[in-house]
Amino acid sequence: MKTTRRDRFTRYVAAAAAAIALAVAGPVLADETCQSPYMPKITGEEEFVYVWTLGVEGLGDASDKLVTVDTRRGSPTFGQVIHTISVGGRHEAHHADFTDDRRFLWASGLDTSQIFIFDVHTDPAKPRLVRTIDDFTQASGGVVGPHGFYALPGRMLIGGLSNAKDQTGRTGLVEYTNEGRYITTHWMPTDAEPRGAVIEKVADGYGYDARVLPRKNVMFTTSFTGWSNYMTDFGQVVKDEAAMKRFGQTAAVWNFHTRQPKKVFHVPGAPLEVRVAWGPTHNYAFTTTALTSQIWLIHEDERGEWQAKAVGDIGDPKQLPLPVDISLSADDRTLWVDSFMDGMVRAFDVSDPFKPKQVYEKKIGRQLNMVSQSWDGKRLYFTSSLISRWDKQGADNEQFLRAYTWDGTELRDRFALDFTALKLGRPHVMRFGSRDLYRN
């Protein structure tokens, strides 16, 4: 049956309306903040945490794997690993996310550019690997390092980190259908090919994260570095003057519907995760810069123009704490910021987004990367691994999943798992699972 443009548009609008309804209907007591608004929400407390984990040579089966941890209250296996599924080989496991119907989890390997698709709906406690995409670079026209996954109606938006030509951070956004069929590639704007974008200072063409604010028809992207840097020992990178120049210094705002870049901001220091505010009148997003340790605000001004400005420091930037993952609470009042080098998480009061105030900090481990926060703000989960060749060495190479409850004043231990002792590897990104979503 032939699908017309009007049919596609109607489905798109319907999906967007449903997503908005889910986002504002309440109360939503669980799920993870900072996810795509096009996904259904978990309305009960998360039952499982899926951890995408890097394999380590000589440890267990040495392969990248998806690890399922039981988080059900009262369960005899609460806080324990109840299932693992290996994908064979080490691919530099990194990020993962759900399709818009939340039935499948897409996960990536930054080194091999392979994508692994897991069925998480048939039995949420025991995900199954159902497909591997191994021609991503060829299909996309040369994009390397599929990094972030972002659910759109019926399709997946995939941000790349590099390219096959020179392995720098020059890259693009790639779209696939939920069934795993390649659709199109949108290359990041550059000085030579701005694609209609206004450029503040430079357009480096680098990529990292992508997030959408549907009601304003905008998409935000950030920038990191390429394969030649992230697959090299971090100590060597920081000593290489040329390599240090190959880090992103841009963020961009796009017309979401047309996928055309509108403006490229100068945000020096490798802006990583971008988190969009949820409030119906909150027209802004946050990002943090890894190398300069700053909080940046991307916001719409009184004229309806988008601007970006540094609004706060994270720890002591001179000590290079290396902020990595961030999580914005569902009420847009608290921004959690992890920093890798000092192993700290810091909470900022961002009720005034132009004036973040640090209100709490805690050392989670000797190294720290990802944070996942429940929708009600009462539970936070942390993992340790950044990139295999950037993780610390010796005793400082802690590899863990640590869970806490948050009472508004203190993070309190809930459970902890030592992934090295369990011979699982290096835990990276986490996503929440639940049977409730599929029971009807």
* Res. 257: pLDDT tops 80: yes
Cβ proximity of 365 and 344 under 8 Å: no
Q: Give the pLDDT of residue 437.
A: 80
pLDDT at 138 over 90: yes
Picking from 51, 55, 72, 73, the residue whose alpha carbon sits closest to that of residue 64 is 55
**pLDDT confidence of 367, banded at 50, 70, 90?**
very high
pLDDT at 18: 42
Q: Provide the pLDDT for residue 440.
A: 59
Predicted local confidence at residue 19, as pLDDT: 46
Q: Worst-scoring range by mean pLDDT, 39-53, 84-98, 109-123, 248-262?
A: 39-53
pLDDT at 4 > cutoff 90: no
- Model confidence at 286, pLDDT cuts 50, 70, 90, reads very high
- If pLDDT is split at 50, 70 and 90, which confidence band does 344 have? very high
Tell me the pLDDT tens digit for each residue of 405-430.
999 999 999 999 999 999 999 999 99
What's the pLDDT at 28? Answer: 53
For 98-107, the pLDDT digits (tens) are 999 999 999 9
Average pLDDT, rounded, for the chain: 94
pLDDT at 11 over 60: no
Closest to 113 measured CA to CA, from 151, 161, 77, 79: 161
The pLDDT score that the predictor gives to residue 43 is 80
Instruction: HSE, CB side, 13 Å, CA atoms: give it for residue 255.
Output: 9
- 169-226: pLDDT as tens digits: 999 999 999 999 999 999 999 999 999 999 999 999 999 999 999 999 999 999 999 9
Radius of gyration of the CA atoms of the chain, in A? 20
Token representation of residue 43: 């309305």
Domains of the chain: 5-438 (2.130.10.10)
Summarize pLDDT for 24-79 with one digit per residue, the tens: 444 556 799 999 999 998 888 999 999 999 999 999 999 999 999 999 999 999 99
Query: Could you tell me the two tokens for 48?
Result: 């499982």
